[in-house]
Amino acid sequence: MANISSAEGTITLKGNWTQQAIDAFKPVLNSWEFYGEYGIQDCRNELSLKNKITEFYGCGRWSFSGTLNSFDDGTRDWIKKNPDENHPLTAEQYNEFLKIMFDNDLKIEITFEDEEEGFGFRVSETGVFTSDGENLCYETIRCEEEDYDFEEDSWESLGCESFDAAARFFAQFLVNPDKKELQKWVKECVLPDECYVYAEEETDVYEFLEDNFTDYCFVVDTDRMYDFMKRFKINPVSEWSNLVDFVNQYYCSYSENDLEEYIPINLESDEEFDKWYQKLQNQ
């Protein structure tokens, strides 16, 4: 799975936008949340004839610019996958919006700062959406990229207290888990973070995750949650549903088909883990 980048910026309507055009754009903009996957997660205020600019927060697959380039495909896929009665956008509405944009030479300017901590880059970019009458097209107008050194935490640097707290956090979702197997999974799959030390003070798992992991995922790869579900027995009366709801909202949507097809990874041997854990305890 891809690393997630975090972007903040502004959306500005350029050209002679009428109320009809703005009304046609609103359900399209709402759909760009893509149910919490990559896209525009939140806009600060509603667009109108008097207010043609809004601030936004979004996330990208590797980069926000690359995600914007795939918005046309993403919008169409989203329409196909979510055709329920509460759907805010239909294919007919989307096609009509593209036609309105093209006929009136309308543009949507997006200016943003994007950051992806995994590879250590920051990007300042301005781009525009236009329409050829049938497709939404994104073009980068200005882009400045900055690399920076990002020093990741490690379980060794955080210490045994943080590691054990992380293992306890994930144990709460399971029925009689094998302690060492869970510890090995945490070492391999969970991004090191000292926040787990304070997790037991939280009364709600969703709130804990929202307080600490909205900008980056808590596992090294979102597929590792499939590994968790395959490897251990989930306790249905735990707060597991809150964790799943959080992941679906901020990262990706899990499916039963993908779970069935997932092949668990190979963890290190008990002997290798015991040596590592003893060093961690003796630090």
Using a pLDDT cut of 90, give the percent of the chain over it: 52
Q: Are 180 and 273 in contact (CB under 8 A)?
A: yes
Residue of 264, 218, 263, 235 lying closest to 175 (CA atoms): 235
Tokens of 233: 């027995």
Could you tell me which residues are beta bridge partners of residue 6? 59, 115
> Confidence class of residue 7 from pLDDT cuts 50, 70 and 90?
very high
**Mean pLDDT of the residues in the chain:** 87
pLDDT, position 1: 40
β-strand partners of 221: none
Q: In the sheet that 4-14 helps form, which strands lie side by side, from edge to edge?
A: 39-43, 53-61, 4-14, 107-116, 121-131, 136-147
For residue 119, the model assigns a pLDDT of 59
DSSP 238-280: STHHHHHHHHHHHT----HHHHHH--PPPPPPHHHHHHHHHHH
What are the pLDDT digits (tens) for 112-170? 999 876 556 788 999 999 999 999 999 999 999 876 555 567 999 999 999 999 999 99
Give the model's confidence band at 183: pLDDT under 50 very low, under 70 low, under 90 confident, else very high: very high
Query: Are 224 and 254 in contact, with CB atoms under 8 Å apart?
Result: no
What CA–CA distances, in Å, run from 26 to 46, 104, 129?
Answer: 9, 17, 15
More confident site: 47 or 3: 47
| Length of the chain measured in residues | 283
For 38-49, give one letter per residue: b (16+ CB within 10 A) or e: bbbbebeeebee
C-alpha angle with apex 21: 51 to 106, nearest 5 degrees? 85
DSSP state of 237: T
For residues 35 and 5, the model is more confident at 5
Instruction: State residue 86's pLDDT score.
Output: 60
More confident residue, 175 or 149: 175
Write the pLDDT tens digit of every residue in 186-228: 999 999 999 999 887 767 888 888 888 876 778 877 788 889 9
Structure tokens at 246: 């959080």
pLDDT (tens digit per residue) in 36-94: 567 898 898 899 999 999 999 998 877 889 889 989 988 998 888 765 556 678 999 99
Contact 138, 128 (CB under 8 A): yes
The whole-number pLDDT of residue 83 equals 56
Summarised one tens digit per residue, pLDDT across range 245-271 is 888 887 777 777 778 888 889 999 999
**Alpha-carbon distances of 238 from 24, 171, 172, rounded to whole Å:** 43, 10, 7
